[in-house]
Structure 1
Amino acid sequence: MDGFGLGAQVPLQGSDGQTAATHALASAAYRDGPVDKILEADNELYKSKVTPGKWHKLFRPDLGEAFSRAVQVRMLGGARAALIQSFGVEPQPVVVHCLAANRIRKQRDVKLTLITLVCGVLFLPGLLLWLAVIQLRRFAAGSDNKRTSFLGTAVLVAAGFLALLVMFRLPFAGVLPTYLRLMLVAPVIGWFLARRIVERTAVELRERWSALLGGGGIGAKIPEAAPRDPGEKAAEELRQNLEKLSVEQQSNVVFYAGPKGVLGLGTRWGSWTLAEELVPQAGKEIHDFRTWDVVRKIHEQLTLLERGSLKSGFPKPTVKHWIVVPVGEGADSVTRPEGDNIVHYQVKPHEIQRICNEQQFGAGNRHYLGVQFTLWDGNLVLTMMVTVTSLHHTLRVEVTGHALGPVHGLFNDKPAAKTKVVSKSVRFWETREVKLPLTTTDDVVRTAVRAPLTWFPPVLEFLGGKLVLPEPFGLRHVWAGPLWKNRFMADDAIRMATPVLRAVHNATIKVLDEHNVDTERFTNRSLVLGGGVQETSPRKADVYDA
């Protein structure tokens, strides 16, 4: 046992208030359509990449297949790099839905593989002939040249005519004529059976996709993650990796990457600094204190934010001490600190206090006190970071605002029925909408040829391609849409800054007053900042124009 079992004494954050964003991301595991569509959802700072395979047109994955595979490998892989916390989202349910979607597809692929063996491999020449005809037709259908398109249709008609000719012109006695007939018929029968299986699976996947976005919260079943005896090493390893994922989500270590800001928290949109000289009150001496004393008092005040004079519905904040590790802007991975002061990805309290008091200048990690609000059912995450530093006789209290926007709208698109507008038979000047099947001939062929390779993912990715996720990767921030285009969300971010800033300043001034510090300058500066924050406008505070 590696410590990530059910007995790990780590408080796990609940999923209240963040189910919509979690379900939206999880729905991608059940989606169909081209995988390139997910590139539209990328954040401007993080870009996914779709790498084509050797025979991409025939073996290509759809969006759900590529997404599920990429997320599963990235978040559960044994040698994976560290993950960025997914604020506003619970990553474990998203990964579980990816596993469940893969399980549904694998059950489909088992049936398709049996059909391929019976109707395809046993009659391989006929299968290759039909695949060649379909490939030629696909090439012709995608051509803008009408002559080429007509040629593809002609080839398909000719192939059908030759098949009928072989069926009826060959002698009916003997093994070879019978095999030749079955060689042409068996792939067609297999195609009809495969189409029914693919269609039925597509309906099931779409039902799960729709249920997640409809608020049903459909559960994902992954029996392979529940070991029934000690000998099931694969199931036990999967269970531990899922537990490890939840524990890492609760880490109090975050990473600062220059203009990208604190990874996972969104860009920094505002900064307010209270920095004045520490001067004793008249006739008194300053009682010694450390920055941790100020931070502890601020922590107490921030936890009381929900208690106001008015019943305004101000949400309860999450107040947490963060250790911020600096990394390069272009870093393709991050490494979480290890050592005696780290337990389950959590920096111990005494080490947090030491960093707060000592590491304020020069190289090293920094301490921040964060107050976080998860709003709009997980689609909006607002974070205010407070850092207190003391250099020589100057105390500096800095408050910065960070905002993480909603999950991109692509993930909230519900499944739409496939339809086609055609002219009416009699009243040809009028049109009507015809409902089309969920799967086309190309979809059936693509799924059937991929099915036998499901147990060899590297080979399948080589032939069909794969989705490469952006790094450093976290489920939430790489697909976060713009916040400031939504007026209500922008208003929430700006309104939240004022009470937090005043609570921080009031706590600071109270500590200074208790230690015989003249607070007149601090109070005046606080009033100036309090007036300025009322007229604040968001800006890119992590980008310095120098």
Structure 2
Amino acid sequence: MADDVFDFSPGAQVPLLGSAGQTAATHALASAAYRDSPVEEILKADNEWHKSTVSKGKFSLFEPNLGEAFSRAVQLRMLGGGRNALIQSFGMEPQTVVEHALAATRIRKERDSKLTAVTVVFGVLFLPGLLLWLGVFQLRRTLAGAKDKRAGMVGGALLLAVAVLAVIVLVALPFNGILGWYLRGMIIAPVAGWLVARRICEATAKDLRTRWDDLLSGGGVGAKIPEAVPGNPGDATREALRQGLQKLTAEQRSNVVFYAGPKGILGMGTRWGSWQLAEALVPKDAGKEIHQFRAYDVIRAIHDQMKLLERGPLNSGGFPTPSVKHWIVSPVGEGAGSVSRPEGQDVEAFQVKSHEIQRICNHQQFGSGNRHYLGVQFTLWDGQLVITMMITVTVLHETLRIEVTGHALGPVHSLFTTKSSPKTVTVAKTVRFWETTSRTLPLVEPREVVRLAVRAPLSWYPPVLDFLGGKLSLPEPFGLRHAWADQPWRHRFMADDAMRAATPVLRVAHNAAMRVLEEHGVDIERFSSRASSLLGAVQDPSPKKVDAYDA
């Protein structure tokens, strides 16, 4: 099903997107895979409903940075075997984010292979000296992380004292011969290895930061993931990755969404507005009966009219082409830790089949079970704003009710849209000491080189690194977009766009429903009067917490 999404030929570059006009949110989240910030930074992007957690490991020297932790968490959650169902990420392409996470991991693995060779030559062969230096760096890192500033100063002084002691030992060592040379090498070799490792780390850091900035600038090359291209029929690992990407794409296209109480529909945002039209079904002609019709007949007429929303009497730009789709909404608890998608003969590739959609629309209108909604979705602001108007039609006894609700999903948190900044320091000029100048520092600090070098030999088995250094746990039920989405109401124009969509959608839904009712012999006078009043009330819509019932 997903074979047409990207090219599986060996060495091919995966296109950045599967559809146009949804690049900003996708690129912003994809850039997180290349970042070198502290992993705790991502906690600032959490919203009130969805919280990430960062668990600490045994040694701070092994802790991951944001890009490493994000890439690992996203790959496990979205491609791991036996994973739970995912929430759709509207307004973006989650597969692209996963592909960049895979590409970033591959770049780091290439660096780690070089660092491992350096560690073996300059470290393992001189293991006592390596352990001595690592112990000093770990102690310094622990003291530097303490709240007491004096403890941090002690850590720096300790490192300096060990360096001075090492020089003294090299000069005044009483041993000669092979043992003497080995003891001297034990002190010097880890330092020489550190210098070589620093050059490797600096080159990789520049590459990762370039990709980070290119994504946020709207450019950049596609993510290279040759490990997703099976080399032969027996290549089980690559075939499993390819199938995982296919499953991810298919689940993104699913027509089943989940309603979680005050959280709204997961992935679409909270419900900010609700408008209802309900009246009795009375025959137009006395003594005659209404011609039989079903709720789906009304929905189908509304569906056809919504397809024409972008057409208007004036050449004023207006609506972009909306996505009009039948949705099955499944209820879950507000605090649900996971969701499950329906299975069976009525579901194919995560899509509920058409005949089952009609059955749910016509018969599951009261009591337990899933419900049917017609969704009209606008993706605006280059994918940063997703407006969804959900329409449902119910017929209970002699009353027909048309309900239109508004959902808005805002932009991803500003953390993900921030470009990298060079590391600089302001210093006084040598001669004109009253003037200052800025000097660019290396991207990789000395302690960062040590961290990367000690992690490198263990990168072939990430669970060990998770245990030693900690990991990032993603909020559940997880979807890439809604987990880090801000409210659109803080942005004036985004809020205006969300509220302006309500009146035209409501008008089209009412007009289409009236036409069906009139064709089937229903007296629409009361419906028309009620619709006029409702359209008058919606002239000045304002966002509310509709799902937070004040009972």
TM-score normalised by the chain length of structure 2: 0.95
2:194 paired residue number: 191
Q: Partner amino acid for 1:530? A: L
Match of 2:304 among 288, 300, 307: 300
- Of the structure 1 ranges 526-535 and 385-394, higher mean CA displacement relative to structure 2 is found in 526-535
Relative to structure 1, the CA distance from residue 478 to residue 141 in structure 2 (aligned partners, 3 Å threshold; closer, same or farther) is: closer
- The answer as to 2:445 corresponding to 1:440 is yes
List aligned pairs for 1:101-500, cutoff 5 A: 101-142=104-145, 148=151, 151-170=154-173, 173-283=176-286, 284-313=288-317, 314-500=319-505
**Contact 2:2-2:249 at 8 Å conserved across structures:** no
**Contact 2:289-2:521 at 8 Å conserved across structures:** yes
Secondary structure in structure 2 of the residue aligned to 1:323: strand
**Contact 1:254-1:322 at 8 Å conserved across structures:** yes
Shift of 1:438: 0.4
Distance in 2 between residues matched to 1:226 and 1:347, nearest whole Å: 30
Distance in 1 between residues matched to 2:72 and 2:202, nearest whole Å: 21
Shift of 1:20: 1.1
List aligned pairs for 1:9-20, cutoff 5 A: 14-20=18-24
Relative to structure 1, the CA distance from residue 142 to residue 238 in structure 2 (aligned partners, 3 Å threshold; closer, same or farther) is: closer
Shift of 1:131: 1.7
2:9 paired residue number: none
- For residues 32-69 of structure 1, the C-alpha deviation after alignment (integer angstroms, 9 at most, x for no partner) is 110000111112110000011111x2111000000000
Distance in 2 between residues matched to 1:205 and 1:7, nearest whole Å: 25
Secondary structure in structure 2 of the residue aligned to 1:484: helix
Distance in 2 between residues matched to 1:467 and 1:456, nearest whole Å: 17
Shift of 1:93: 0.6
Q: Which consecutive unaligned segments of at least 5 residues does structure 1 have?
A: none
- The answer as to 2:32 corresponding to 1:28 is yes
Match of 2:537 among 508, 518, 532: 532
**Contact 1:23-1:217 at 8 Å conserved across structures:** no
Shift of 1:217: 3.8
Secondary structure in structure 2 of the residue aligned to 1:122: helix
**Contact 2:341-2:350 at 8 Å conserved across structures:** yes
Relative to structure 1, the CA distance from residue 411 to residue 533 in structure 2 (aligned partners, 3 Å threshold; closer, same or farther) is: same
Secondary structure in structure 1 of the residue aligned to 2:49: coil
1:514 paired residue number: 519
Shift of 1:14: 4.5
**Contact 1:5-1:240 at 8 Å conserved across structures:** no
Relative to structure 1, the CA distance from residue 50 to residue 149 in structure 2 (aligned partners, 3 Å threshold; closer, same or farther) is: closer
2:13 paired residue number: none
**Contact 1:88-1:378 at 8 Å conserved across structures:** yes
Secondary structure in structure 2 of the residue aligned to 1:89: coil
**Contact 1:301-1:503 at 8 Å conserved across structures:** yes
Q: Partner amino acid for 2:295? A: T
Distance in 1 between residues matched to 2:120 and 2:161, nearest whole Å: 27
Distance in 2 between residues matched to 1:149 and 1:67, nearest whole Å: 28
Secondary structure in structure 2 of the residue aligned to 1:271: strand
- For residues 169-222 of structure 1, the C-alpha deviation after alignment (integer angstroms, 9 at most, x for no partner) is 336841100100111111001000110111110000000001101111421101
Shift of 1:474: 0.3
Distance in 1 between residues matched to 2:326 and 2:148, nearest whole Å: 64
Identity rate, percent: 67
Match of 1:67 among 67, 70, 84: 70
**Contact 2:229-2:242 at 8 Å conserved across structures:** yes
- For residues 237-280 of structure 1, the C-alpha deviation after alignment (integer angstroms, 9 at most, x for no partner) is 10011011001100000111111111100010000001000111
**Contact 1:4-1:240 at 8 Å conserved across structures:** no
Relative to structure 1, the CA distance from residue 429 to residue 126 in structure 2 (aligned partners, 3 Å threshold; closer, same or farther) is: same
Shift of 1:161: 2.7
**Contact 2:211-2:220 at 8 Å conserved across structures:** no
Q: Which consecutive unaligned segments of at least 5 residues does structure 2 have?
A: 7-16
Q: Partner amino acid for 1:305? A: L
Secondary structure in structure 1 of the residue aligned to 2:386: strand
2:91 paired residue number: 88
Distance in 1 between residues matched to 2:49 and 2:5, nearest whole Å: 38
- For residues 292-335 of structure 1, the C-alpha deviation after alignment (integer angstroms, 9 at most, x for no partner) is 11011000110011111112222000000001111111000000
- Of the structure 1 ranges 162-171 and 179-188, higher mean CA displacement relative to structure 2 is found in 162-171
Relative to structure 1, the CA distance from residue 144 to residue 328 in structure 2 (aligned partners, 3 Å threshold; closer, same or farther) is: closer
Distance in 1 between residues matched to 2:113 and 2:365, nearest whole Å: 59
Secondary structure in structure 1 of the residue aligned to 2:508: helix
Aligned-residue CA RMSD (Å)? 1.8
Shift of 1:426: 4.0
